[in-house]
Chain A
Amino acid sequence: MTAVATSVPIFEVFYDEHKHEVLGYLRKRAGADRADDLFQETFLRALRAYDRLQHADHLRAWVLTIASRVLIDAFRRDGTPTSELPELESPEPDSPLESISDLTASLPPKERAAVTLRYGFDLDYAQIAAVLCSTEDAARQATSSGVRRLRKERSSR
């Protein structure tokens, strides 16, 4: 638990602060032609989950995680092989997320995103569902199967 949670800024402030970096991130990985659509999709997903955010910690890493999910979904639609999918954005160094990011590196993208959002960002399943564009049940399942997989890996080591 963090000692003092910062309160969530209005969406306009959040959007203004991160829009340029998110566009840069998407352009680098998907090209200038496709980045605009993916940009829109990223911030619409953020908007869907935004009213349920409990605190303003790690908002940058959160929106970059959403952007990486949007990229993965777009590559999937095109049939890009999983091995060429982009890495989840690693959050700022020294954050509690860094360890979660390392810990979950072996998971399939969806489970990794779900576990990171649940335990790194403290999001509930409704919020995770908004990020992953799936149902609350599917988000819960992805999280728990991710956690199971991690336990299994650990015990077989």
Chain B
Amino acid sequence: MTVSSDLDRRFRAAASTLELVDVSYDVLETEIGPLLAAVTDHGLAFLSFDAHADERLESLATFAGSRVLRTTRGVELVRRELDEYFGGRRTIFDLSLDLRGLPQFTVSVLGELAKVPYGRTATYRDLAERVGNPKASRAVGTVMNRNRIPIILPCHRIVGTSGSLVGYAGGLELKEKLLRLEGAIL
């Protein structure tokens, strides 16, 4: 017996409408390829360049709850804001974020990262100074590298002291593309 895609869709929509889901996720088709987005009742918790990052959903369940379900509705707002961003019609995201489960240092670095404006860049050392720990550039680099909500938390805007792009989870080419989109580089 096979569950039709229509029945499947109706169940997922009902679960979402009745607010019985702890983590809603879906794969979003975007300008830069498929992105996996996961949303809890606290906000966007996870955005991945790897559309098959299912095992990462298990780790969200440890703090958000085991009712993890793929639904279109739950990630609708993320889909819309990303569309606008890639279309050049959005420079600030209005999404609330779920940073539960992250260490305090990571949260404060990400807090400073969020303040780096659209179309601008900052260095790893800038961020380290802004969290009051000028020698922590390397640790800041690690936080950028593990950033679980890229694009929205704009780690692509963080570059080396010499202005070199250094690295990016989605690949240097993508980092360059995002900075170009924002007009930060020509």
Contacts and interface: CB of A to CB of B under 8 A. Distances in A.
A42 to B, nearest CB: 9
A98 to B, nearest CB: 25
Contacts of A23: 1-3, 7
Contacts of A36: 7, 10
- Chain B CB within 10 Å, residue with most, of A10, A24, A36, A43: A10
A51 B22 contact: yes
B66 A50 contact: yes
Given A19-B8, A24-B1, A44 B66 contact: no
A53 B22 CA distance: 14
Nearest to A47: B20
A44 B57 contact: no
A141 interface: no
B65 interface: yes
Interface residue range, chain B: 20 to 34
Contact of A10 (B1, B20, B66): B66
Interface in B1-24: 1-3, 7-8, 10-11, 14-15, 18, 20-23
A44 B70 contact: no
B3 A39 contact: yes
Contacts of B20: 44, 47-48
Interface residues of A, number: 22
A50 B67 contact: yes
A25 to B, nearest CB: 8
B3 A47 contact: no
A36 B3 CA distance: 9
B41 to A, nearest CB: 12
Nearest to B70: A12
Interface of B: 1-3, 7-8, 10-11, 14-15, 18, 20-23, 57-58, 61, 65-70
Given A23-B1, A40-B11, 4 more contacts: A10-B66, A43-B11, A47-B67, A51-B66
9 contacts: A8-B66, A9-B66, A10-B67, A11-B67, A19-B3, A39-B7, A47-B15, A47-B69, A48-B20
